[in-house]
């Protein structure tokens, strides 16, 4: 299986049409079709169904797309890691991050490192726990910023000197918007939009589950989210109240939305993680040393 063939395949998927993909690649349509046919023979499965002028991926094609993207990402990451000379330290650092104001602390370290090593470049991937750990485990990320509750048993990590505060985002015309705090009783019988990470976590003994105790099963959960932006849209449209972390909405641009913290106070810790026994590039090692120095580990 050739890397070039995988790239041709991904571009064809992106364009959704053999003719458009051939034009983009500066190939003839028969040449590109031949390359795709060779890939199908190599894989042993049909990758496309041709419908009118467009293509539709088969189940095998969907799987190959996912694997091809991972392979190409890994190749690009490997090239970036060797982008240095004896005189100039350069290279790319790949960081996955959950949505948290603590990313500003990481960004301050990134800025400090870049002052001394201006040829180091950062690549940030936003996602939830499952998204980030999957890419960490496959070697597509160097570091991840994970929000508790999170299983850290597979990783080395630094605990961040910060915590996120949980609360409820709601429209300002809600009767609850006049409250200074939100209690467990307030959460009953209102439509809730909740983080999918919290819903799917297998860690029973954590601050979040202890705060809710036996209340969680009584909640009226109408939707889940993995990134807060879409949850904000649902709140704006009156679908419900989003249980989320503080400092993730900009009230200057969300005049009709407000955040009210839970009572008793519920906080989540934050961790910078990386794979155990990981072989770091020179750029990533410099960044890790800067993190440890910043957070005094």
Q: Do 25 and 171 belong together in one domain? A: no
> Is-above-0.75 flag for pTM?
no
Of 58, 80, 102, which one is at a domain's C-terminal end? 80
Q: Do 42 and 183 belong together in one domain? A: no
Of 65, 80, 95, which one is at a domain's C-terminal end? 80
Q: Do 157 and 278 belong together in one domain? A: yes
Q: Do 251 and 175 belong together in one domain? A: yes
Q: Do 285 and 251 belong together in one domain? A: no
Of 80, 101, 131, which one is at a domain's C-terminal end? 80
List the CATH number of the domain containing 141.
3.40.190.10
SS3 letters across the chain: CCHHHHHHHHHHHHHCCHHHHHHHHCCCHHHHHHHHHHHHHHHCCCCEEEECCEEEECHHHHHHHHHHHHHHHHHHHHHHHCCCCCCCCCEEEEEEECCCCCHHHHHHHHHHHHHHCCCEEEEEEECCHHHHHHHHHCCCCCEEEEECCCCCCCEEEEEEEEEEEEEEEEECCCHHHHCCCECHHHHCCCEEEEEHHHHHCCCCCCHHHHHHCCCHHHCEEEEEECCHHHHHHHHHCCCCEEEEECCCCCCCCCCCEEEEEECCCCEEEEEEEEECCCCCCHHHHHHHHHHHHHCCC
Q: Do 212 and 226 belong together in one domain? A: yes
Number of folded domains in the chain? 3
As a whole number of angstroms, the distance between CA 56 and CA 58 comes to: 7
Q: Do 152 and 283 belong together in one domain? A: yes
Q: Do 98 and 60 belong together in one domain? A: no
Q: Do 59 and 106 belong together in one domain? A: no
User: At a CB cut-off of 8 Å and minimum separation 6, what does 230 contact?
Assistant: none
Q: Do 180 and 53 belong together in one domain? A: no
Instruction: Please report the pLDDT score of residue 251 as a whole number.
Output: 46
Domain coverage including residue 149: 86-161+270-294
- 55: its two tokens: 């293509």
Q: Do 179 and 202 belong together in one domain? A: yes
Instruction: Please report the pLDDT score of residue 204 as a whole number.
Output: 59
Q: Do 219 and 245 belong together in one domain? A: yes
- The ranges of the chain with pLDDT < 50 are 251-252
Burial of residue 128, with CB atoms counted within 10 A of its CB: 0-12 exposed, 13-18 middle, 19 or more buried: buried
């Amino acid at each position: 299986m050739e890397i070039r063939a995988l790239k041709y395949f991904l571009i064809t998927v992106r364009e959704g049409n053999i003719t458009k993909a051939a034009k983009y690649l500066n190939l003839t349509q028969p040449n590109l079709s031949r390359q795709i046919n060779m890939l199908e023979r190599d894989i042993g499965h049909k990758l496309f169904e041709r419908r009118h002028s467009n293509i539709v991926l088969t189940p095998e094609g969907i799987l190959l797309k996912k694997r091809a993207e991972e392979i190409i990402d890994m190749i690009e990451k490997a090239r970036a890691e060797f982008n240095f000379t004896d005189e100039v330290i350069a290279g790319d650092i790949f960081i996955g991050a959950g949505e948290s104001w603590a990313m500003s602390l990481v960004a301050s370290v990134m800025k400090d490192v870049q002052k001394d090593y201006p040829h180091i470049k950062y690549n940030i991937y936003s996602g939830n726990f499952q998204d980030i750990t999957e890419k960490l485990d496959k070697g597509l990320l160097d570091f991840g910023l994970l929000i508790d509750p999170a299983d850290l048993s597979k990783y080395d990590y630094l605990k961040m000197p910060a915590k996120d505060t949980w609360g409820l985002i709601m429209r300002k015309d809600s009767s609850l918007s006049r409250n200074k705090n939100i209690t467990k009783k307030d959460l009953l019988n209102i439509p809730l939009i909740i983080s999918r990470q919290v819903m799917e976590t297998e860690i029973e003994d954590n601050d979040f589950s202890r705060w809710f105790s036996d209340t969680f099963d009584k909640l009226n959960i109408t939707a889940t989210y993995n990134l807060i932006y879409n949850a904000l849209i649902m709140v704006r449209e009156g679908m419900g109240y989003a249980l989320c972390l503080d400092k993730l909405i900009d009230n200057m641009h969300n005049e009709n939305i407000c955040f009210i913290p839970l009572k008793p106070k519920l906080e989540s810790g934050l961790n910078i993680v990386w794979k155990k026994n990981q072989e770091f590039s020179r750029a990533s090692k410099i960044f890790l040393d800067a993190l440890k120095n910043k957070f005094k580990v």
